[in-house]
Amino acid sequence: MAWLYLVFAGLEEVVAVMAMKYIGKGRKAIPITIMIVGFAFSFFCLSQAMQTLPPGVAYAVWAGIGTVGITLAGLLWFKEKYELPQFISLGLLIAGIIGLKLTV
């Protein structure tokens, strides 16, 4: 159940960040609502997962799902172009966050 919460938390984070992108594009009320509800729900699910999983593990998985999901959203939904050095840097960053949170 805790893992299910974590997956929901990660997906909600992706949705909320996608909504943020739309706020910058001009549309306002609907994306702002989706963003606030999305982050609130995401943090709620994360805190639920932390009740049973170690907080470091929960945060690492949440950040991993979120960042990978947002990269996919950027590529597939917003049609942004990323190059190899950017993927390598992104990989380093995600691995660093996961490692740090697992050892804290």
Q: How far apart, in whole angstroms, are the C-alpha atoms of residue 67 and residue 89? A: 12
Q: Are 38 and 16 in contact, with CB atoms under 8 Å apart?
A: yes
Q: How far apart, in whole angstroms, are the C-alpha atoms of residue 11 and residue 5? A: 10
Min CB(25)–other proteins separation in Å: 8
Q: Are 43 and 94 in contact, with CB atoms under 8 Å apart?
A: no
Indicate whether 100 belongs to the interface with other proteins (CB under 8 A).
yes
Indicate whether 85 belongs to the interface with other proteins (CB under 8 A).
yes
Instruction: Tell me whether residue 54 or residue 96 sits nearer to other proteins (CB atom).
Output: 96
Q: Contacting other proteins (CB under 8 A), which of 35, 46, 58, 65?
A: 35
Q: How far apart, in whole angstroms, are the C-alpha atoms of residue 53 and residue 89? A: 29
Indicate whether 20 belongs to the interface with other proteins (CB under 8 A).
yes
Binding mask 53-82 for other proteins (x = CB under 8 A): ----------x--xx--xx-xxx--xxxxx
Cβ neighbours around 77 below 10 Å, total: 12
Applying CB under 8 A, which residues contact other proteins? 17-18, 20-21, 23-25, 35, 63, 66-67, 70-71, 73-75, 78-83, 85-86, 88-97, 99-101, 103-104
